[in-house]
Structure 1
Amino acid sequence: MQWNIITDIAQVNDIKSKEGYSLIFKHSTRCPVSSMAKRRFEMDWDVIPSDVSLHFLDLIAYRNVSSHIAETFEVHHESPQILLIKNGDCILDASHGDISADEVAEVINN
């Protein structure tokens, strides 16, 4: 699996209009907790179905995009944070120690 890097608002709008599942990982490059959550997620992401598109946002470099994500999917901004999107709606929002590839897979498979 590989991250699709988010750098602009148009990409977020594309995720919003996409059918199926997408996952957004909002990451702070200045935060060791965020780095740990990302590493742990990547170690386990093989449990996530391969048709889920994985998107990565460096929220320090792209703060305006991070704000747009929060508004678009109606979630409170946190870092680190994952959002599981299904058919344009956020169906799972987790942050910090609650970020889990196993939980993402469980939501998708149920």
Structure 2
Amino acid sequence: MGILNNFFGSSKENKNKKVTFVNWIDLNSVDQLSEIEALSENETVAIFKHSTRCGISSMVIKSFVEKFDSSLKDFKVYYLDLLKYRQVSDEVGYKFQVIHQSPQLIIIKNKEVLTHASHYEITKIDLKSF
């Protein structure tokens, strides 16, 4: 069976592969915040702050990805690993005047925060409305 699975592909492998339309961009530098501001003048941009050690954060990011469909494939979402880049997270709060939470989704347009949410409230934001 192993040879046939290699040739035709395992049905288990195909079932486990999920297509995601999230346009993740790693946010790992304070300098990128200027880039986000500039982009937001022409389009809506999001920052997703995620803690890789938090169970709630893991559940929320999974739900976020599942809700993201092909109509949102061009929507830019900056992914911030809070544990690796705490200084960047702090600067996001200062620059956009949003109190730190984890997980957190911040929606930015014209250099201003349109909305933000944390924890399970993230899944209630209708990204298509932006």
Q: TM-score, normalised by structure 2?
A: 0.76
Instruction: Tell me how far apart the structure 2 counterparts of residues 83 and 30 of structure 1 sit (CA, whole Å).
Output: 20
User: Equivalent residue for 1:39?
Assistant: 62
User: Equivalent residue for 2:32?
Assistant: 11
- Residue 82 to residue 102, structure 1, CA distance change in 2 (3 Å): closer
Moved more, 73-82 or 44-53: 44-53
User: Equivalent residue for 1:79?
Assistant: 102
Give the CA RMSD over aligned residues: 1.6
Alignment of 1:1-110 (within 5 A): 1=21, 2-18=23-39, 19=41, 20-46=43-69, 49-100=72-123, 103-106=126-129, 108=130
For CA contacts below 8 A with separation 6 or more, give which structure has more relative contact order: 1
Name the count of aligned residue pairs. Answer: 107
Letter in 2 for 1:57: L
After the TM superposition, list the runs of 4 or more consecutive aligned residues in structure 1 that deviate by more than 4 angstroms.
none
Q: Which has the larger radius of gyration?
A: 2
Q: TM-score, normalised by structure 1?
A: 0.89
Q: Which runs of 5+ in 1 are unaligned?
A: none
Q: How high is the sequence identity, in percent, across the aligned residues?
A: 36
Cα deviation 1:17-56 (Å, max 9, x = unaligned): 2221101100001100000000000001117633321110
